[in-house]
C-alpha cells in the first residue's frame, strides 16, 4: 500500500514537458484509483524495488507509472506516460 508520493521538481517538469503528465494525475492513479501494480526489478537498496503501476485518472486517461517503493511506504516517482494501446488491451481489455 502506498501512503504518499515523492517526486522531485526536475522529474515533475520532465513529465509535464515530455509526457504531459501532471502531479495530480500521478496522485489520482496511485492514491485514489486501484492501479494494477507489477514488480519490475530489484532495487539497489534492500527492500526498495522498482514497480510499474497501470491505472486510470478521473478523466479516463490511462497512465503507466514507474516508481520505487520506499520502506516508508512512499512511492518515489521515476517516470510516467500514457499507456500504449497494447498495454491498455492487456490490462483493461480496451483499445
Write down the domain spans for the chain: 4-92
pTM over 0.95: no
In the CATH hierarchy, which top-level class contains the domain 4-92?
Answer: alpha beta
Per-residue 3-state assignment (H helix, E strand, C coil) for 27-79 = HHHHHHCCCEEEEEEEEEECCEEEEEEEEECCCCCEEEEEEEECCCCEEEEEE
Per-residue pLDDT in tens (0 to 9) along the chain, 95 residues: 899 999 999 999 999 999 999 999 999 999 998 999 999 999 999 999 999 999 999 999 999 999 999 999 999 999 999 999 999 999 888 65
Amino acid at each position: 500500500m502506498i501512503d504518499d508520493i515523492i517526486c522531485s521538481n526536475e522529474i515533475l517538469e520532465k513529465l509535464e514537458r515530455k509526457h504531459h503528465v501532471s502531479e495530480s494525475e500521478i496522485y489520482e492513479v496511485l492514491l485514489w484509483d486501484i492501479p494494477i501494480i507489477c514488480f519490475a526489478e530489484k532495487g539497489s537498496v534492500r527492500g526498495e524495488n522498482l514497480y510499474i503501476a497501470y491505472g486510470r485518472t478521473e478523466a479516463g486517461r490511462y497512465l503507466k507509472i514507474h516508481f520505487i517503493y520506499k520502506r516508508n511506504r512512499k512511492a518515489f516517482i521515476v517516470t510516467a506516460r500514457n499507456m500504449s494501446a497494447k498495454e491498455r488491451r492487456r490490462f483493461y481489455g480496451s483499445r
